[in-house]
Structure 1
Amino acid sequence: MLFTETKLKDAFIIDLEHREDPRGFFARTFCAKEFEEHGLKPTVAQCNLSFNHKKGTLRGMHYQVPPAAETKLIRCTQGAIYDVIIDMRPDSPTYMQHIGVELTAENRRALYVPELFAHGYLALTDGAEVGYQVGEFYTPGHERGLRYDDPAFGIEWPIEITVISDKDAAWPLFESVSVGAKS
């Protein structure tokens, strides 16, 4: 695996290192030892899959707070998504900064999301499918969210958002919450 640190502290893009032969290729998609060598938490508590019928579907911006803070390893297995993460760690040098990364079935790229990073994505194609390896169990009492269109972050989504859940559309604006507060 090839680890590239993003401008956000502790967040990495992970590309496959192909071993090719006439049959095709082989590549490791996860290795606890390699994650540890890069200072990343290798714990996998759950593996999740989401499927999006329509291009323009937005999911996010979600995170969990301690003691159930979670890491995520996100990979698009079908179609394409624009994946966004926001550093919500108050003591981080990249606090409240975000990045967006295009993850596609073709580029096979993954995004490592550290604890206390809000995460969401926009389906760029019909039928986009996304696999998550998550480092903590889903814990509803510790779930938080941010508005996808919050001016405090200024996220520029690459296409129009046409499908969003009522819950994701109703997350409060950042100015009205704190990272650990129940929203």
Structure 2
Amino acid sequence: MALSHSLSLPTRTTTTYITPKTQFHFLFKSKFLVPKKPRTLSFSLHAMGASSSSSSQKPDNLQEAGRVDYASLSDGEWKKRLTEEQFYITRQKGTERAFTGEYWNTKTPGTYHCICCDTPLFESSTKFDSGTGWPSYYQPVGNNVKSKLDLSIIFMPRQEVLCAVCDAHLGHIFDDGPPPTGKRYCINSAALKLKPK
């Protein structure tokens, strides 16, 4: 005697069962469950407010593509880029003799750039005659200059002035400058390159 079925099942139906660890799909074929390979879901996460396209604004501390990573340059590479005096001053924290540097008495209007990386450091409008024999400025350009404690002379701690981009030693900063800042950035000429206006 032939069996008759009163219930007709679809020949092909997909049902998804989700567990915390994995995901299974079972394919119904007639009355038999046939396990199918787990499907891997792929998706990407974006931080809130982030976009998949690159942003036009970048943090100040990131270097643009194609720019030199100055921290990775060896002494040998710096020696190829700089004169002996420039290397001694900027990379070995040297000091030129007073009244001997190229810019100690220069009055030419322009911008003084870092000799190592060409970052603008000081405007000629902030330069003043300190009587010390070194170019002196009362204010740097933006945040292009930084300072840190210099304990190389134990009994006379000072604030060393460095280029914020390539860490070139520029000179020292003192609190005996003119208004409006009261600061004197005492800088070695060999660390600078004047670009006249």
Q: Which TM-score band applies after superposition, normalised by the shorter structure?
A: under 0.3
More strand by share: 1
What TM-score, normalized to structure 1? Answer: 0.27
Flag the structure with larger Rg: 2
